[in-house]
Structure 1
Amino acid sequence: MKRYFIPFIFLFFLVSAAIAQTTISGTVTDAFTHEALAGVVISVADSSTTSTALAKTNSTGKFEISAAQNQLLRFSMIGYTARIVKNNTSAGKLTINITMEPSTVDLQPVIVTASREKQQRREAPIAITQLNATQIKDTKATALYQLLNKVPGVYMVNLGNEQHTMAIRQPITYNALYLYMEDGLPIRPTGIFNHNSLYEINMSGVKDIEVIKGPASSLYGSNSIGGAVNFITQGPPTGYAGNVSLQGDSYHYRRIDADGGFTSGKLGVYAGGYIAHQTDSWQDYSDFDKYSGNFKTVYDFNNTTKLTTAASYNYLNTQTPGNLDSAHFYSKSYGSNQRFTYRKVNAFRASTRLDHTWNGKNATFITLFYRYNSTAQLPSYFISDVRDAAGAYLSSNGQVNDQKFNSYGLLAQHRADFSFLNSRLITGLYIDDSPSSYYAQSLDIQKNVADNYYTGFTNTGRYIDQYRIKLFNTAAYAQYEIKPLETLRIVMGLRYDRVHYDFKNGLPPGQTKYKQQEANNFNIAAPKLGLTYYLGNNTGLYANYSVGFQPPETTGLYNSRQTGSLKQATFYNYEVGGWLSAFDKKVYAEVSLYDLEGRNEIISQLQPDNTTQNENAGATRHRGIEYSITYAPVHELTFRFGGTNARHTYLDYSEVATNYATGNSIVTAYNGRRMNNAPAWIATGEITYKPIFLPGFRIAPEWQHINRYFTNPANTKVYPGYDICNLRLGYDFKQSAKGLGIWFNVLNMTDKLYATTVTSNQYGDTYSAAPPRVYTLGVSYAFSKY
């Protein structure tokens, strides 16, 4: 009997084990955007967190595995917080849907901006920072500067009503030293930069933001010198999902956001946008309206071919109060000295992209795009007073202008992987045909001299400028990566650009200083050489040499206010850096040191009549260190600190001024002086607490610091800088009223008087005043299939 009993027992356990195995299938999606997550690793995890991989999610986020009852399953992916799920059933089949939140601690997320291909951060030999969906959701920004100023080394200057300028490895500047992109496409063509152009982005449709610091011209071309900012838009959710929110602040800012989408079979659709309205704010004459929206469809023909079509529209109509003099700024008199300047923007972009994977080693995408833009304005910064030799007031003038462009373009890229040294070759072609037009008409400005108040204007009908430009930019680029060692990756890149301006003057010869027709060509090659060395344990080093370039802007070349000719600017960047992880991945740190040397850098100088003039500085140098550290001692608490210490110097630069009393020219050299509007230290810190005993609640105090800086190239005038504190609180209901969220933000908690930027001329200083303490309250509701 015993000889039958033992096999019987063995067979019983085999059958029991087979019965206990459960076939588990499902979908893994992003907790905020509800997009499918491909490449999520599903593992068996034990109490010591070691795991054995079972499977990965496919391109649509789906998976199927077998697991025993009570077995712990770990879902993990770079850039996301891992999820541990217990199999609590012994049923034969089980369907579960997993949501994963982007991690705010992981230093090495998956990025796309470094090569237009998905790769781990540690594979890119550049300084790049990603703001993910968690940070965007938690911040609840009313303007993009509240997000971008979290990035170490970045100072996005708030000029009010979503208007802005930037400082990344550069002084605070209005010049074309930054490239702004949406899904890897420049939102404006070369030669038609606008420092305000991020008001042409739909904030509510942004999933991630990636910021390259330093030149990226070898891949992206012109203007990507101080930095390149890529806004990655949301795509269709798996199943269906939607969100609506309302918010307002203590100074009558009101906004409504709504978005949603679905995936049915092979087709996915997403649409979203917001409407913002400002009236009777803390600053006089600063009302505005903004309408913004995105639309995207994704059609998966099969596992290897996908078609993505996207469109966006942004409309901004804003009053522009202008800057304040020192007396009004320090007395907190925020009244405008006129009530008629404005800016009206219409911006439409559309693209269609076809992705095809030929095999495991070859993939291609082709993108066709179209852009339309009109920026009409009566700018406050062009209102100027005419004075005699003794400085006595004579009259005032200004202008109204409008710049328009249409773009028709193509971007194509192919990626091939080779067995030889584990290498990869990326090649690309870029074509941008952007005909544009510009006109400016002269205004006679009426002024109450005694009260220093501009009362009105009369359009003289006289054209200051009237021209058309055929702008044609063609480029080819290649990037070759080799991996001779498991720990070493070398990246070599080169891009060649030809920028062609064909200028046609609409003014008769007697009314213009320009030819009736003129052609300008700029031919630029931008190389790059970089490497990364992985030391293990999520620690590594990188180094790179890169070149950035900037042809003169069309308005700089052909605008009647521009008295001197301009040369192309070139920048040479030398950089080393590294990253590390410590204390069981509770601490992440990153640092980069750079030396950026500019030749013929185009800088903007404020003139005595309050207008600006572009000039070439013979040579400039920008040296600094950028650093960030994130510490999460426990899951619910995160500390973040980052900043940059930099020195921006004129190496070869002089100004020519006129002595109105004698009529003689005065040449002043500024070699060795600090560049004006260049803070030596920019820093930011934040503590985020999400208590485990109150799921869904968050509180995050934040500190921002801008150090003192000179406001003139002679280094005789100084703005002391500022420190401000912000506080953000929110609660997302997890149980009752699930899907409901509320938030309360306090910006400038201490009600600090400060200016976001200060400039000087011979008649005094002008201040761009920052908002006093602002309270913002919002409520949202989200729903989804998963």
Structure 2
Amino acid sequence: MSNLFKTLSLCLLLLSPQVVGETIEKPIERIQVISAKSNASIMQLADYQQIGSQSLELLQAQHLNQVLSRTAGTWLSRGNGQESLLAMRSPVYTGAGACGEFLTLEDGIPLRASGFCNVNQLFDSAFELASKIEVVNGANSARYGSNAIHGMINVVTPRPFEQANQVKLGLGANKLTKLQLKHNQESNIGDFLLAGDWVDTNGYQDNSGYQQYKLLAKHSGQLGDWQLDTSLSVQDLDQITAGYIQAGDKAYLDEELRRQNRLDNAYRKAQSQRLTVHAQTQLADGSLVKLSPYLRNNKMDFLMHYLPGTPIENNQHTSLGLLGHWQVNRGNHFIDFSSQLENTQGEVKQYQPWPTETSSAFLNSILPQGRQYDFAVDMQTLSFAADWSWIWSDDFYWQNAIRFEQINYQYTNYLDDGNNQQNGQPCGMAPCRYYRPTSRDDSFADVSFSLMPVWQLNAQTSAYIKFDKAYRAPHIMELYRLQNAAQQTIDAETAYNTQLGIEYLTDKLKLTAVVFNMHKHNVIAQNSQRLYVNDERTQHSGLEGNLAYQLSNNWQYSLQAIWARHKYKKQFAGNDIDTAPRLIASQQLAYTWADRVKLEFESVYMSDYYTDAENQHSYAGHLLHNIRASFAVADNWHLAVQWLNITDKAYAERADFAFGNDRYFVGQPSRVFAQVSYQY
């Protein structure tokens, strides 16, 4: 696959203007997932939230959860190192296919193929180098495709000369060192940007830490009537992983236990590369054509320390795709016709280099040493969509979208079918844990839609009602890594969402509120017997809001909050889904003086939640406080300091209950991070 990536990279580079050498003009508006909707009113994209460059500059986040906590309805649960689990108007989902509930993008291109996504995939994004991060909550498959059931996150990186040339050096707790560079360059073949971010840290827990670097190379130029923006994004993570602590109820309160790492060999190594050309031109009739060919490669190896026997997983996939838009503006009508073509080749291997040595003779018997999975999957995605805005009058319009999408899988098993050992012999006390289905083809097709009437009630107030049907196709792990099941029928998951929203906007105040109710069918989950099933039904309903108020010329207050219930409707009917806090909120009080000083006090709150489906065990929740400051200390020199968890609160980033034990990913204590930057 590496040779394929190199060959296709050369093909895409040949499309870029630096090879052709045409006369360069100033670039036109950037192409991204949101830009197609920019001509209509502010309410056109319901649930749209943005963390802009000023906030990102102040945050200097070491983990993306520090950024996403500023958006209502989003909780990125921080694991160890750069690992994470996502919730967007939802509980935190776990398991190999849990990533299928959300769509994550960089500059409008999915970070991974939908059937090959990973719950930790946001560490592939160049969020440290971003100019803004866009978040759209709720069901949005009609606009963005499979996986956008609960929401979409788009990391937008800067174009050349959008941000200043700068060098940054940061130091923090646990021997954290961070170096960042952004350099813009003009030439007779266009504008260039080269950016990089490198971090090294020992980690808070014993024998843990990671090194990670990210590189971003961009070019903007003109080729005839076409504006071309070429981007290469590279990521490499080398992590020594610390697992959860498992030492009884509220073990995270014990300072000594919080530091412990019961793992001595857990790791995660991940590499990703994405090459994209965004091209657009205006036709004679005024319509816009946008084409985005892209090439994507992902590889990851890690120890599955959370499973008995601790096997090792290797997975990789390479994708070649094309996104196309034809946008027609006819005054009171705006139509965006779009299509996506993608072909992906991937493989998964799972092997256990050592025998299982637990206190259970049964587990030791059914988890033998050797290869457990070795399969390849070819995947094709084809979609057609239309997004239509109709301005009926000055105070009313419709926003509608419809999408047809088909996903095909060709699965090839390289080991013996069934659940014998690698040598073909059965396990001693029972069939071996891991079942391998026979090679086969699968296909999933569905239609999603969105209907949204919008009213401009007065000069300050807008309101809307939004109806959505969303879906996702099964993940390859849900189809072909069946654990201890001989066969399971897995179908596409569907969701029906209704929401009411209102926005109030003045010179000093912005207030948005959304009431939502979602019913999901054919929910794909892994039950207590480790079988994938999709006959579950769930309900997700609540109230979400954002408030931003300019108290004076120097003071600003912001609040983001969601209150929601996430309930089982079939098995455990009426119970809260585990890891689903009902209230999540954050607030910021900021002071700015003459663009030279910015101070901010932040609070982040999470209510209690159940950690098991039976609702017999729970986590108490927490309240954290942070202080951040930024100073212009001299011409071109800036100093940023952040003091996180200033009250030294003992808490868990995430808690669950499994295999009869409370388990906690521990939160870090009070700590300071400082960074100096120079612009040139």
Q: Which residue in 2 is equivalent to 1:689? A: 591
Q: Which residue in 2 is equivalent to 1:267? A: 190
Cα contact 1:465–1:560 (8 A) shared by 2 = no
Q: Which residue in 2 is equivalent to 1:342? A: 267
1:703 equivalent in alignment to 2:603: yes
1:190 equivalent in alignment to 2:111: no
Deviations 1:307-330 (A, max 9, x none): 111111100011111111144433
Cα contact 2:182–2:193 (8 A) shared by 1 = yes
Q: 1:436 aligns with which of 339, 342, 346?
A: 346
3-state SS, counterpart of residue 550 of structure 2: strand
1:119–1:417 distance in 2 versus 1, CA, 3 Å? closer
3-state SS, counterpart of residue 283 of structure 2: strand
1:556–1:269 distance in 2 versus 1, CA, 3 Å? same
Measure how far apart 1:557 and its partner are.
1.0
Measure how far apart 1:630 and its partner are.
0.8
1:61–1:522 distance in 2 versus 1, CA, 3 Å? closer
1:535 equivalent in alignment to 2:460: no
Paired with 1:221 and 1:697, the residues of 2 have a C-alpha distance of 43
1:121–1:318 distance in 2 versus 1, CA, 3 Å? farther
Measure how far apart 1:762 and its partner are.
4.6
Paired with 1:553 and 1:189, the residues of 2 have a C-alpha distance of 10
Q: 2:407 aligns with which of 482, 485, 499?
A: 499
1:509–1:620 distance in 2 versus 1, CA, 3 Å? closer
Measure how far apart 1:613 and its partner are.
5.2
1:251–1:408 distance in 2 versus 1, CA, 3 Å? same
1:301–1:61 distance in 2 versus 1, CA, 3 Å? closer
Cα contact 1:673–1:713 (8 A) shared by 2 = yes
Q: 1:160 aligns with which of 80, 98, 112?
A: 80
Letter in 2 for 1:687: L
Paired with 2:472 and 2:651, the residues of 1 have a C-alpha distance of 32
Paired with 2:340 and 2:31, the residues of 1 have a C-alpha distance of 21
Measure how far apart 1:510 and its partner are.
6.0
Paired with 1:247 and 1:634, the residues of 2 have a C-alpha distance of 32
Q: Which residue in 2 is equivalent to 1:5? A: none
Select between 481-490 and 528-537 the one with higher mean Cα deviation: 528-537
Measure how far apart 1:476 and its partner are.
0.7
Cα contact 2:522–2:537 (8 A) shared by 1 = yes
3-state SS, counterpart of residue 252 of structure 2: helix
1:320 equivalent in alignment to 2:241: yes
3-state SS, counterpart of residue 374 of structure 1: strand
Letter in 2 for 1:590: T
1:467–1:767 distance in 2 versus 1, CA, 3 Å? same
Q: 1:245 aligns with which of 168, 171, 179?
A: 168
Deviations 1:231-260 (A, max 9, x none): 11110117x941110111122111100011
3-state SS, counterpart of residue 551 of structure 2: strand
Letter in 1 for 2:545: Y
Measure how far apart 1:338 and its partner are.
2.2
Measure how far apart 1:111 and its partner are.
11
1:135–1:437 distance in 2 versus 1, CA, 3 Å? same
Alignment of 1:12-23 (within 5 A): none
Paired with 1:604 and 1:539, the residues of 2 have a C-alpha distance of 44
Letter in 2 for 1:478: A
Paired with 1:495 and 1:61, the residues of 2 have a C-alpha distance of 31
Measure how far apart 1:771 and its partner are.
0.8
Paired with 2:50 and 2:535, the residues of 1 have a C-alpha distance of 33
Alignment of 1:625-664 (within 5 A): 625-653=543-571
Cα contact 2:165–2:679 (8 A) shared by 1 = yes
Cα contact 1:326–1:767 (8 A) shared by 2 = no
1:680 equivalent in alignment to 2:616: no
Paired with 1:652 and 1:331, the residues of 2 have a C-alpha distance of 38
Paired with 1:310 and 1:462, the residues of 2 have a C-alpha distance of 41
Q: Which residue in 2 is equivalent to 1:773? A: 670
Paired with 1:689 and 1:763, the residues of 2 have a C-alpha distance of 48
Cα contact 1:296–1:311 (8 A) shared by 2 = yes
Structure with higher strand content:
1
Paired with 2:568 and 2:106, the residues of 1 have a C-alpha distance of 33
Gaps of 5+ in 1: 1-58, 63-76, 78-109, 385-396, 450-458, 654-669
1:408 equivalent in alignment to 2:327: no
1:562–1:628 distance in 2 versus 1, CA, 3 Å? farther
Cα contact 1:401–1:440 (8 A) shared by 2 = yes
Select between 197-206 and 207-216 the one with higher mean Cα deviation: 197-206
Paired with 2:372 and 2:51, the residues of 1 have a C-alpha distance of 43
Alignment of 1:700-739 (within 5 A): 700-733=600-633, 737-739=634-636
Deviations 1:54-81 (A, max 9, x none): xxxxx9499xxxxxxxxxxxxxx9xxxx
Letter in 2 for 1:248: L
Cα contact 1:574–1:595 (8 A) shared by 2 = yes
Paired with 1:617 and 1:774, the residues of 2 have a C-alpha distance of 45
1:742 equivalent in alignment to 2:652: no
3-state SS, counterpart of residue 372 of structure 2: strand
Alignment of 1:304-703 (within 5 A): 305-327=226-248, 328-332=251-255, 333=257, 334-359=259-284, 361-382=286-307, 384=308, 397-419=309-331, 422-444=332-354, 462-509=370-417, 513-561=435-483, 563=485, 564-582=488-506, 585-605=507-527, 614-653=532-571, 670-692=572-594, 695-703=595-603
Measure how far apart 1:723 and its partner are.
0.5
Letter in 2 for 1:313: V
Measure how far apart 1:702 and its partner are.
0.3
Paired with 1:423 and 1:330, the residues of 2 have a C-alpha distance of 59
Letter in 1 for 2:93: T
Letter in 1 for 2:667: A
Q: Which residue in 2 is equivalent to 1:217? A: 141
Q: TM-score, normalised by structure 2?
A: 0.88
The count of residues paired between Structure 1 and Structure 2 equals 626
3-state SS, counterpart of residue 634 of structure 1: coil
1:288–1:61 distance in 2 versus 1, CA, 3 Å? closer
Letter in 1 for 2:402: L
Paired with 1:575 and 1:241, the residues of 2 have a C-alpha distance of 41
- Give me the identity figure in percent: 20
Gaps of 5+ in 2: 1-24, 360-366, 421-434
1:516–1:714 distance in 2 versus 1, CA, 3 Å? closer
Measure how far apart 1:443 and its partner are.
3.8
Q: 1:295 aligns with which of 212, 217, 220?
A: 217
1:366–1:125 distance in 2 versus 1, CA, 3 Å? closer
3-state SS, counterpart of residue 483 of structure 2: coil
Letter in 1 for 2:193: Y
1:416–1:273 distance in 2 versus 1, CA, 3 Å? same
Paired with 1:357 and 1:265, the residues of 2 have a C-alpha distance of 24
Alignment of 1:21-170 (within 5 A): 60=26, 113-114=33-34, 116-119=36-39, 122-170=42-90
Measure how far apart 1:565 and its partner are.
3.9
Letter in 2 for 1:633: L
Cα contact 1:640–1:687 (8 A) shared by 2 = yes
Deviations 1:620-643 (A, max 9, x none): 100011001111121211100110
Letter in 2 for 1:732: A
Select between 555-564 and 570-579 the one with higher mean Cα deviation: 555-564
Paired with 1:329 and 1:61, the residues of 2 have a C-alpha distance of 52
Cα contact 1:366–1:412 (8 A) shared by 2 = yes
Paired with 2:354 and 2:68, the residues of 1 have a C-alpha distance of 39
Letter in 1 for 2:559: F
Deviations 1:161-215 (A, max 9, x none): 2211111111011312110001111111111121100110123321111100001
